Structure 1
Amino acid sequence: MTTPPPSAAPGATPGSGDEAIRLAEERAAATRERNLPQFTDMPIPGDTANLREGANLNDALLAVLPLVGVWRGEGEIVYPTIEGPFRFGQQITFAHDGRPFLVYEARSWLLNEAGEVIRPAAREQGFWRPQEDDTIELLLTHNTGIVEMYYGKVRTQTSWEFESDAIIRSATAKDVQASQRLYGIVNNGDLAYVEERAMVGQPLQPHASAHLKRIVG
């Protein structure tokens, strides 16, 4: 991919281990008691986005452990075929139920220049499925009529890279040919990602990016 997530972010000094620990403790104080809403009468284990609660994390998920939680922040959409760039807000959830996959959900909303919500925007849901050969299968379904299958790998202990292998489109969906994604935990513990897309006759290029803070876990 051509555009990595930021390697540092405001509030953290690169290479400062003490500062990173301090920031992590501050975040945990606000998020450690929060989790996904639970139905207590479910006869099977519920999803959890908090490693302190619920089912034990499956050993197969150790490579994606830093992602477990709920993240919220803002991002930007840009592409030659739109008038943008446009700002958007987003919440991403990584949860599990003790089995060897992460449940993934992303919900977005468009923002105006003042940061006010205009309307709901894209939604996507799916599963991250780490495999024994250290690859990660990523299956995504979009509300826009697109289903994507990615194969990815662990780049470092806190970054993950994916490339689309197959894309299925409904008759009313946008013409998307390929996609790549790169996720990373940046120096202050936030989640950042970039997405590149080849669609509507354009070559593969940056389309969306976001910087999200942990609110659960």
Structure 2
Amino acid sequence: MSALMPLPEELPIDTVDVREGPEIHPQMLALLPLLGVWRGEGQGDYPTIDGFRYGQEIRFWHDGRPFLGMQTRSWIMDADGAFVRPAAREMGFWRPGSGDDFEVVLAHQSGVVEVFVGTARTTTSWELTTDVVARTGSAKEVNGNHRLYGIVEGDLMYAMDMAAVGQQLQPHISARLARVQ
């Protein structure tokens, strides 16, 4: 059995802060305000799901190359805001296109992978629409997704519409998250 090798010193670190680590890639300037760790709560509803309250943390990071990494973790909360159980997880990458356009690739723990096309609507708001949705044989049917993200009064807010399990595209979840790092 070999010993665990240490990381090379020249290996870029993942950072959520533009003041530390590698310089942000110039192609990522339209997405720069997203960098950080955001935490807060939201609510959800759908014709096939009872309404629910959830907590969430989103981490946007970079390592100097032309993409932002994204990791989300969510948990269901009761009416008093107490933790009930783990909920959705996403991991993915926001990649620059031309001008203010970009693409997002997200994988969900539920077996769904989504490819979005997006555009920076302003310096602090972004719109994404699914271009491709793929799923494993055991995943629930998801056919489309539309998301709006924006920085409002210093908080990250978003709303997501979803078309799934025989339903048309319609509101599903929304949240307001404060920057914690």
Equivalent position to 2:164, from 199, 213, 217: 199
Is the strand fraction higher in 1 or 2?
A: 2
Amino acid at match of 2:167: Q
Is 1:52 the counterpart of 2:15? The answer is: no
Partner in structure 2 of residue 33 of structure 1: none
- Superposed CA deviations along residues 138-193 of structure 1, whole A, max 9, x for unmatched, are 0000000000000000101100001000000111101011100000000x210000
* Distance in 2 of aligned mates of 1:146 and 1:53: 33
Number of residues of Structure 1 aligned to a counterpart in Structure 2 = 174
C-alpha displacement at 1:134, in angstroms? 2.8
Equivalent position to 1:176, from 122, 142, 166: 142
* Distance in 2 of aligned mates of 1:54 and 1:114: 39
Identical-residue share of aligned pairs (%): 53
C-alpha displacement at 1:87, in angstroms? 0.4
Once superposed, which parts of structure 1, at least 4 consecutive aligned residues long, lie more than 3 Å away? none
- 3-state SS in 1 of match to 2:69: strand
C-alpha displacement at 1:132, in angstroms? 2.5
Partner in structure 1 of residue 155 of structure 2: 190
Partner in structure 2 of residue 90 of structure 1: 56
In the alignment, structure 2 segments of 5+ residues that lack a partner are 1-5
Is 1:141 the counterpart of 2:134? The answer is: no
- Superposed CA deviations along residues 14-45 of structure 1, whole A, max 9, x for unmatched, are xxxxxxxxxxxxxxxxxxxxxxxxxxx53211
Higher relative contact order (CA 8 A, sep 6+): 1
C-alpha displacement at 1:122, in angstroms? 0.5
* Distance in 2 of aligned mates of 1:57 and 1:129: 13
* Distance in 1 of aligned mates of 2:81 and 2:144: 31
How big is the alpha-carbon RMSD for the aligned residues of Structure 1 and Structure 2?
A: 0.8
TM-score by length of 2: 0.94
- 3-state SS in 1 of match to 2:46: coil
* Distance in 2 of aligned mates of 1:52 and 1:71: 17
TM-score by length of 1: 0.79
C-alpha displacement at 1:101, in angstroms? 0.2
* Distance in 1 of aligned mates of 2:46 and 2:175: 15
